[in-house]
Amino acid sequence: MKLEYTKEELSLQAAALEQLFDAVHIVDPYRGVRLDPATLEPQEESAPVPPMDEAGRGLQLVRHGGQETMQISQGIRVDGRPCVLVLYRAMPKDSRATVGAKNSYDRALAQYREDIRRDYVTGVYNSRFIHEEYRSYAEKQASRGIPVGAVLLRVNEYWELRNRESREAAECCLNSAAGILQLAVGTDQEHAVLARLEDGLFAAVTVGMPAARLAEAINKALEGARRVFSISLSRRGTFTVSVASAEWAETSSWEMMLSLAQQRL
């Protein structure tokens, strides 16, 4: 596939690809909008562009048109302008399969989609989910005047455990912390989610409630919890968590809100 196009070439390429794929979109990755292939004029808002590798390619399973769909992304340039070509193809289904087999297939795909949203160590959401999927939801709510905020949480002992003990001990510490934090944040995605950003850092994004109030609830949960984890079969350790928050209204930007909360840690 070509990576450099003129508008005319892109329009022809999109028409050809529409014969093979269920949908073909041209996306402006900076403004988050779909573009008309012929004119590059902005149309409706697009879904967030998924992470792409060093070659400018991305692949993930998404819900599109009400069904599980493979989304293929390719970074291109159109008359020198960076764009993303996004192709959608519904996952195939065997029409001769029994109802039970179809249900099993659907459950497996749904489980896979949920698994790729999760951090493999702690089971809470991962950085990809919070930055790509939840960000879009939070930004829409903020644009409607609904309070949105972020609470950054650092497990202070993580790096010392990695350096002096073992990776297993550090991850056990993270697991213990994540369990307490998840209980404090809750599981209602419309109001708050907890995600592991990197190493010993977590973020809780809240919608409809000031972040300072969630930070207070998390601190109370930590104070009342038994913050103990296993270093080895015979040794135990305790951990502490630093908590800081920032409100969307302070910054009016997703990146700046998270950055401000992190600065306050």
DSSP string, 239-258: --EEEEEEEHHHHSSHHHHH
By mean pLDDT, which of 53-67, 82-96, 139-153 is the weakest?
Answer: 53-67
Percentage of residues of the chain with pLDDT beyond 90? 54
In the prediction, which pLDDT does 65 show?
Answer: 74
Residue 94: per-residue pLDDT: 66
Share of the chain above pLDDT 70, in %: 97
Say what the pLDDT of residue 63 is.
76
| Average pLDDT, integer, range 55-62 | 81
Q: Are strands 81-90 and 4-5 parallel, antiparallel or unpaired?
A: unpaired
Mean pLDDT of 161-184: 93
* 183, pLDDT greater than 70: yes
**Range of lowest pLDDT (61-65, 168-172, 194-198):** 61-65
Question: Residue 176: what pLDDT?
Answer: 94
Q: Rounded distance, CA 172 to CA 170, Å?
A: 5
Report whether pLDDT(45) > 90. no
Alpha-carbon span 169 to 229, nearest angstrom: 8
Q: What is residue 46's predicted lDDT score, i.e. its pLDDT?
A: 81
Q: Which residues of 2-12 are buried (b: 16+ CB within 10 A; e: fewer)?
A: eeebeeeebbe
Q: How many CB atoms lie within 10 A of CB 95?
A: 6
The pLDDT, as a whole number, for residue 262 is: 93
pLDDT value at residue 116: 79
- CA separation (Å) from 173 to 98, 160, 180, 222? 45, 11, 11, 14
Distance CA 52, CA 41 (A): 24
Confidence (pLDDT) at 198: 86
- Within the chain, residue ranges assigned H as helices are 7-17, 99-115, 127-128, 135-143, 158-164, 167-185, 211-224, 248-251, 254-263
Count other C-beta atoms under 10 Å from residue 40's C-beta: 16
Instruction: Supply the pLDDT for residue 1.
Output: 66
Average pLDDT over the chain, rounded to an integer? 88
pLDDT, tens only, 233-265: 889 999 999 999 999 999 988 999 999 999 998
Residue predicted with more confidence, 113 or 16: 16
Amino acid at 38: A
113 has a pLDDT exceeding 90: no
How far is residue 129's CA from residue 167's CA, in Å, rounded to a whole number?
24
pLDDT at 32: 81
Q: In this predicted model, what pLDDT tens digit does every residue of 1-38 receive, in sequence order?
A: 678 999 999 989 999 999 989 899 999 988 888 998 88
Q: What is the pLDDT of residue 234?
A: 87
Is residue 95's pLDDT more than 80? no
pTM score? 0.68
Residues ≥6 apart with Cβ < 8 Å to 150: 203, 204, 205, 206, 211, 245, 246, 257, 258, 261
β-bridge mates for residue 90, sequence order? 69
Q: What angle do CA 51, 2, 58 make, to 5 degrees?
A: 15
All domains in the chain, ordered by first residue: 4-90 (3.30.450), 125-263 (3.30.70.270)
* Residue 254, φ and ψ in degrees, nearest 5: -60, -50
Q: Identify the sign of the CA torsion 123, 128, 129, 134.
A: positive
Residues 6+ apart with CB under 8 A from 11: 37, 38
Q: Report the alpha-carbon distance of residue 257 to residue 246 in Å, rounded.
A: 6
What whole-number distance in Å separates Cα of residue 209 and Cα of residue 136? Answer: 18
Would you state the pLDDT for residue 29? 84
Say yes or no to pLDDT of 208 above 90.
yes
